[in-house]
Structure 1
Amino acid sequence: MSLLRPSISVVYLARAAEGIEAIERFRQSYTNHPAGIPHDLVVCLKGDDESEIARAKEVLTPIATRFVAQSDEGFDIHAYLRTAQTVDTEWISCLNTFSVINKPLWLERLYRAASRPGVGLVGATASYESRHSTIGAWIWYLGKVLDGDVLQSSTHDQFADIIRALENGYRIPGVARVGRRLKLWALFEEPYRRRHLRLWRQRMSVHPDYEGAPMFPAFPNPHVRSNGFLVRTKFLTSRFPELGLSKMDCLKFESGLEGLSASIVKDGASLLLVGEKGEYPVDDWPQSKTFRSGDQEDLLIRDNQTDIFSSLPPINRELLRYFTWGDAAADPEQYEIPPLRCFKNIESVLLQTPAANQGALS
């Protein structure tokens, strides 16, 4: 393959509302870590405050090829897709506001992997996590708490962050109202607290993520995360000419049965995860030392989620690792939740249709 004159646009989403510090961190990391390959840096300036946009543009002007201005409507994926419509390069890579380039030659590594025969999508981070199965684990835990079942103290410690989030009005698409009730209704009076934990559990149990024909495969659900990915521009713009404006639509784009990764596999191409030490087919992702793997030391690109993972107490960090990689990264005997088991040829699960995906956490 030739690396002499690739046609690549790197789209950096500079969302002004996230603060200038995140944008400055990206600029510094981009300057300090050469991409290793020619490209255009297309900056999407997203926001409605003119002074914030002007400041972001000032910070990024020294490194940007061009700017695209957008209102603050929608989420990151919407900004990527709108910006992609303005791109005429063969390839496009998308980075969110919190991206920090972590290794030199990061783009060259991604491009080499993406250019290999049969490969359709590559990313600096990826996951097996199933929204369907993770929600199932939450429901399982809340059910045990509400029923008064005896659990190991370590299990309560593992789920402490989830309970804390619920009690502070945690919002999840489709059931946000329940989270608000938990925060606003007599939270410290135990009968009310239990009543609304029960309500949250009931609502989640019939949520379309979980019951019937869920929009997300049960674990393992291999997908390239929607930050730091590289794909052919034509595929992205033709397959996803528009997207619904909800957060759920973005989640389905990233890891749903009709999302980006699933669409690539259904077209007969493969997914690759790329780290500093190599390229990893789907079955080898848990050993990549990138997203929630090892100490994440081989990440080409960091973001807010990788940084949060690194900062968590070990017991919470290991639960997230288990949700992400299942028994490929942790012994199920350490957890009381129903086991998350991997198998060979994991990529094949993306060939399912939504109606065929009847799995549940069991």
Structure 2
Amino acid sequence: MIKMKNDKSCLIVYVCREKDANWHGKALEFVESILSCRPGADYSLLVVYKGFSDNLRSARNVFSGVSVFELVVEDSGYDIGAYRLAVNIVNAEYICCLSASSRVLCENWLSMMLQVCSDNRVGIVGAMGSYESNGLLSEGFPMFPNPHIRTTGFIIRCGDFLSYTKTPVDKMDAHLIESGWNGLTACVLNSGRQALVVGKNGVAFDITEWRASETFRSGRQSNLLIADHWSDHYMDCDELVRKKLQFLTWGVLDE
């Protein structure tokens, strides 16, 4: 396959899905966030328009001036499938994967993630990690604690991403790729490399440090680099529900 020319080492892929509730508002928030928060590193942006028909022109208007590449595809394969398509058609060293509800929260966010991921000892860098497990639902998942990088905002070498994933055929497949025994994080760890979370302060946190990093479902999430609908949901909950979510994610409560 002949890939599209790209002179940037990092390809950011954003998935815009017509069936998502308020897809237009989410897309506007994403674009506003990447324009207001300077990335600190060069990149190319590819937008994947999933399942669009009548609203495609409106969606393209949202990204006019910021998107270099685009893909218009049917609504299948989940986000992971869209990321795989992007890597297969655009040449880049790294892919930064962002879901429909992703929003960048601070300047130099991309440079901080790239700097950490460029270390050969590191295999994947995310804005959020979790110990959650679906082990009671399927033997395809490790039991708790099951450390994994959440796939709504992460960066990885393109070659590794293609090697460690497949296009999911159903939701269980997508969950297995995120946190299963043979999932993305597990493959990185099995290769002898680290899976790290980077915070807004630029610090890279190893697995044992995630819970106290003030990122996903940790305290007030004040160190979160990239937000999504689940981090927003956590902040919208009352204190009692937050404690339950903390326990679900980390197995312990904040002190």
Name the TM-score class by shorter chain: over 0.9
CA distance in 2, matches of 1:73, 1:129: 26
CA contact (8 A) 1:46 1:53 kept: no
Instruction: For structure 1, list consecutive stretches of 5 or more residues without a partner in the other structure.
Output: 136-206, 332-362
Alignment match of 2:46 (pick from 33, 42, 48): 42
SS in 2 for 1:131: coil
**TM alignment of 1:292-307, pairs within 5 A:** 292-307=217-232
Between stretches 246-255 and 38-47, larger displacement belongs to: 38-47
User: 1:6, CA displacement in angstroms?
Assistant: 6.2
Alignment match of 1:120 (pick from 123, 142, 149): 123
CA distance in 2, matches of 1:245, 1:35: 33
Alignment match of 2:171 (pick from 242, 247, 255): 247
What amino acid does structure 1 have at the position aligned with 2:48? Answer: C
User: 1:48, CA displacement in angstroms?
Assistant: 3.5
Q: Which has the higher helix share?
A: 1
Which residue in 2 is equivalent to 1:342?
A: none
> When the two structures are superposed, what TM-score results if normalisation uses the length of structure 2?
0.92
Alignment RMSD (CA, Å)? 1.5
Change (3 A) 1:75 1:318: same
CA contact (8 A) 2:41 2:110 kept: yes
CA distance in 1, matches of 2:8, 2:225: 20
Instruction: For structure 2, list consecutive stretches of 5 or more residues without a partner in the other structure.
Output: 1-6
CA distance in 2, matches of 1:124, 1:244: 23
Which residue in 2 is equivalent to 1:91?
A: 94
CA contact (8 A) 1:223 1:261 kept: yes
Asked which structure has the greater RCO (Cα within 8 Å, sep 6+), the reply is: 1
Between stretches 78-87 and 294-303, larger displacement belongs to: 78-87
User: 1:283, CA displacement in angstroms?
Assistant: 0.8
Alignment match of 2:25 (pick from 21, 28, 40): 21
> When the two structures are superposed, what TM-score results if normalisation uses the length of structure 1?
0.66
Matched, 1:281 2:206: yes
CA distance in 1, matches of 2:31, 2:10: 19
What amino acid does structure 2 have at the position aligned with 1:219? Answer: F
CA distance in 1, matches of 2:144, 2:163: 29
User: 1:330, CA displacement in angstroms?
Assistant: 4.3
CA distance in 2, matches of 1:39, 1:217: 35
Q: Which has the larger radius of gyration?
A: 1
CA distance in 2, matches of 1:40, 1:271: 24
CA distance in 2, matches of 1:287, 1:330: 8
What amino acid does structure 2 have at the position aligned with 1:78? Answer: G
What amino acid does structure 2 have at the position aligned with 1:236? Answer: F
Matched, 1:79 2:82: yes
Q: Give a deviation string over 1:307-340, Cα, whole Å, max 9, x none.
A: 011111211111111111113x447xxxxxxxxx
**TM alignment of 1:1-362, pairs within 5 A:** 7-18=9-20, 19-49=23-53, 51-132=54-135, 135=136, 207=137, 209=138, 214-240=139-165, 242-277=166-201, 278-327=203-252, 329-330=253-254
